[in-house]
Amino acid sequence: MTLDPDALRVLDMARAAGGKPFETGSVAAARAAYNASFPTLQGEHEPVATTFEQQIDGPNGPITVRIHRGIDALPSGAPALLYLHGGGWVIGNLDSHDEICRLMANLGNAVIVCPDYRLAPEHKFPAGLEDCLATLRFMAENAVDLGIDKVRIGVAGDSAGGNLAAVLALLARDGLAPPLATQILIYPNTDARQTSDSYRRFGDGFGLTATTMAWFRDHYVRTPDDIMDWRVSPLLAPDLAGVAPAFVGLAGCDILADEGAAYAACLQAAGVPVILRQWPGQIHGFVSMGRHIRAARQAVVEGVTAWRHFEGSTSTG
């Protein structure tokens, strides 16, 4: 598969920088390297109407959340998204995906809530998931104070954040989380077995490698048995029927491409409305590389457009 020229340029930049793979060092070193690199890749941080942070209660202690209100969002009854950042459950923070949250807030005339959920290996599965669930409950329970419509709350995330978003959608379907209007899954992790063919095709030389992804997963799970838990591998859930309508956006040159496509296919087979969009020449993480990859903004625009489409379909029956 031919790489998009923008993606190839980013890969060339990474090779020229000479950074070491995360798995060759400590978690602290991986976080430091990632925190130093993502500001050079991110796209524009759009101004929004308001941004503030607060702490909320969670089962494992306080959780810091960042809340953006889009420039044209209604002061009350606005749609809202819970955005869960990527980073393999090990890296990432409130700043690493801030440009995506701001863009979604403005495009959707919406409120975007992003939690600084607990990371592995200090906090293994299901601690991060529990923080995300607590944040969703906070949004539903405080909808009036937040100026959002509790029946128009959706969930979104990329990579490991897409994994967490997909799991929340299943929990919501089962009545274990507040109802969701939509789910936006950007190159999500859906199968922690890591055996799909895209791991072979794109396992090295395309950014996120197979060995790095295994390193992330092994820090996240408590034991190998967790790999088969659908809350880690939502592709293994026995039934996907009844979950929120989904936008699934995939990068073609990505080790997660096949499991993302498989999850979209399973959602469709279960009767869930799905909009699947694939960017054939893109690499994992491209949506967070808007400074260099022009398709990054397009992917966010299409995700928000799908969200609005699902809302319109629901309101008209």
Catalytic positions are: 159
Contact (CB, 8 A) for 279 and 287: no
Q: Which tokens is 104 given? A: 């979604």
Q: Which helix (H) or strand (E) covers residue 78, if one does? A: strand 78-84
Q: Are 41 and 11 in contact (CB under 8 A)?
A: no
Neighbours of 59 (CB within 10 A): 11
Inter-helix orientation angle 127-141/160-173, to 10°: 60
Euclidean distance between CA atoms 146 and 67, whole angstroms: 9
Tokens of 26: 């400590």
Structure tokens at 258: 């096949």
Tell me the CA distances in angstroms from 8 to 49, 103, 191, 280, 303, one per residue in order: 35, 24, 27, 13, 24
Contact 278, 253 (CB under 8 A): no
* Cβ–Cβ under 8 Å, residues 97 and 86: yes
DSSP string over 285-305: TGGG-TTT-THHHHHHHHHHH
Residues in the chain, how many? Answer: 317
Residue 80's closest CA among 178, 141, 151, 129? 151
Q: What token pair was written down for 53?
A: 């942070």
Query: What span, in angstroms and rounded, lies between the C-alpha atoms of 45 and 103?
Result: 8
